[in-house]
A and B are shown apart, each in its own frame.
Chain A
Amino acid sequence: MQDEPQLYDYLPSIDRPKIHWPGAARVAVWVAPNIEHYEYDPPANPVRTAMPRPAPDLNWLTLRDYGNRAGVWRMMEVMDRYAVKGSVSLNVGVCDHYPEIIEACVERGWELFSHGVYNTRYLHGMDAAQQRALIQDAKDTIYKASGQPLTGWLSPALSNNPDTMELLSEADVLYTADLMHDDQPLPVKLNTGKKFISLPYSLEINDYTCLVLKRMTPRRYTEAIRDQFDQLYEEGADNPQVMCIPLHPWLIGLPHRVREFDETLKYITRHDKVWMATGREIAQWYATHHYDNVSRAIAARKD
């Protein structure tokens, strides 16, 4: 084991090159629904147990099933209302199990990126060949379902190995959402010679951490999202920022929460210096306009 990720160098927020977004936006906002499949009876992983009870853990399972039957459709309705495109953190198995969900995403021009095959299959313990097979599976499955290339990655249940990013970059993936170290995209240090970007995701305003782990009420949660937005919007006047709203249909799509989601998007989209974008759009913009410049600034740092 190593004592730090060795994926990036220190670049303090107050001492770095300025970046810019289309339309002189202060904040690029991307909404990332995690559309997932959790297996009824998942295989054992040496490091991690999928659910608290022996299968079938209905409390755990059917809430997630509810997300795919009801929650995801409610989310789409809300996002359509504010013309917000999703960037789907996708368990690609969903393409096989529930193709109608994928068709609805594709119709809306949403981005599909990979969140593994199932949320009950972790990368923990996989060797490089197994991870390559998983990445290739994601690539093929997303392409077949949507015609889209695989541009981004969020590891299933955020399970990573030290070599995972290297393998993603080898496979021409452009961005990862697994690193929480910044509010701007940044280059990731790899040996592939290719551009590979960490795109800000969030565990601070993720509905899973807020609603499940921190047990926030729907109003307290969306207040946190608005506070986050207000602060980044202010700071973005000086150096533009990224804000991700990571969501799960089985949490935000429930009847007692979906109205608050509506209020949140209404609030954010009425600001004029916001770039409502997909993960791919932000990553590609950054790769084209800022990646080299920021990489040089990092390389030149002495402290």
Chain B
Amino acid sequence: MSLPASYMEYPRRARGMDHDRYDYTSLFRRPSVRWPDGARIALVVVPVLEWFPLDMVPAQMTVKAVGGMERPYPDYWNYTTRDYGTRVGVYRIFKVLEDLGIPASVAINSRLAVRHPFLLREITRRNWEVVGHGLDMRHVAHGKTPEDQERQWITEALAQLRQASGQPVRGWLSPMQSESHHTPDLLREQGVDYTLDWNQDDLPVRMNTRAGAVYGVPYALDVNDRQSMLDFNLSNADYVEQLLDAFTTLWREAADHGGRVMAISAHSWLTGQPHRIRAFRQALQVMCGHSGVWPTTYGRMLDAYRPQE
């Protein structure tokens, strides 16, 4: 037995990445970034609001949506647990943010925003930022999604959110953070400035697309609430400790290397649960008690970053 000769060939084996989106740079050799008022950390909280349609069929999805229907139709178990987030959990999250005076970049499925104008108004009336999060959790793009189909999904999602929110909607989180080879191009063509899907390091990273630059922004890499609470089932104490350990590392590092970005994800159906919300509040309270923390939105953070590039 042997492998085809091509398996021993490495056509992209050269300096830098093996794709053309961005160059390799050590985080520690990037120019120091200065945030407003000399803050060390730009802290972005990202409530994630999702709609998992009752008639979605995960078995037919190439990339399954975690939280989707898994039981025989009608799967009330999963549908209503997710819907709890939209009805109850999300408002717990919003209350914590309001109590602490923290803004949010809210990732929301466009069809959820259309279904519940009240929910969207609760975001826009606070002048929080709306971040596109696809149509719903049934439409998950991936490497084999035809480009035209994905373009249609992205166009529709952005049109719905822009119309309903009156905001430009500059940011994007793909459902399941799952992209095709074309996603950054399609996003940029639709006027999107940044994506939460990449997480290259702890600062925005400028990415090439066929229509100009789109930025990869940090988004709770490996400390995402979905991973921590659902996959890892961390206790609240462990979850808080983990977030604060991450925060402390970045906060210390910023003294020597310039500003950093820390993002915290908060899925309405996870962090919004009564037994979880206190962990979220506690972590944020401690962080906001530090000097040099700038609670902000991705849009404002990026606007502060770009002139320094």
Contacts and interface: CB of A to CB of B under 8 A. Distances in A.
User: A and B, one complex?
Assistant: yes
Interface of A: 37, 39-41, 43, 45-46, 53-59, 62-63, 65-66, 68-70, 73-74, 93, 96-101, 117-118, 121, 125-127, 129-130, 133-134, 215, 217-219, 254-260
Contact of B18 (A39, A126, A258): A39
A46 B1 CA distance: 11
A277 to B, nearest CB: 27
Given A73-B26, A97-B24, A215-B231, A66 B200 contact: yes
20 contacts: A46-B3, A54-B144, A56-B143, A58-B197, A59-B177, A63-B199, A66-B201, A68-B24, A69-B26, A69-B27, A69-B200, A97-B15, A125-B2, A126-B3, A130-B2, A215-B231, A219-B241, A254-B222, A254-B246, A259-B248
Nearest to B144: A54
A45 B245 contact: no
A70 B8 contact: no
Contacts, number: 147
A145 to B, nearest CB: 13
A254 B232 contact: no
Contacts of B15: 96-99
Nearest to B198: A62
B125 interface: no
Contacts of B241: 217, 219
B27 A62 contact: no
Contact of A69 (B13, B24, B142): B24
Nearest to B205: A69
B71 interface: no
B18 A53 contact: no
A265 to B, nearest CB: 16
B7 interface: yes
B70 to A, nearest CB: 17
Given A39-B18, A126-B3, 20 more contacts: A45-B7, A54-B144, A56-B179, A57-B178, A58-B198, A62-B198, A62-B216, A66-B221, A70-B202, A73-B28, A96-B14, A97-B15, A97-B17, A100-B29, A117-B13, A125-B3, A125-B7, A130-B7, A219-B241, A256-B245
Interface string B1-33: 111001110101111111100001111110000
B26 A255 contact: no
B65 interface: no
Contacts of B25: 69
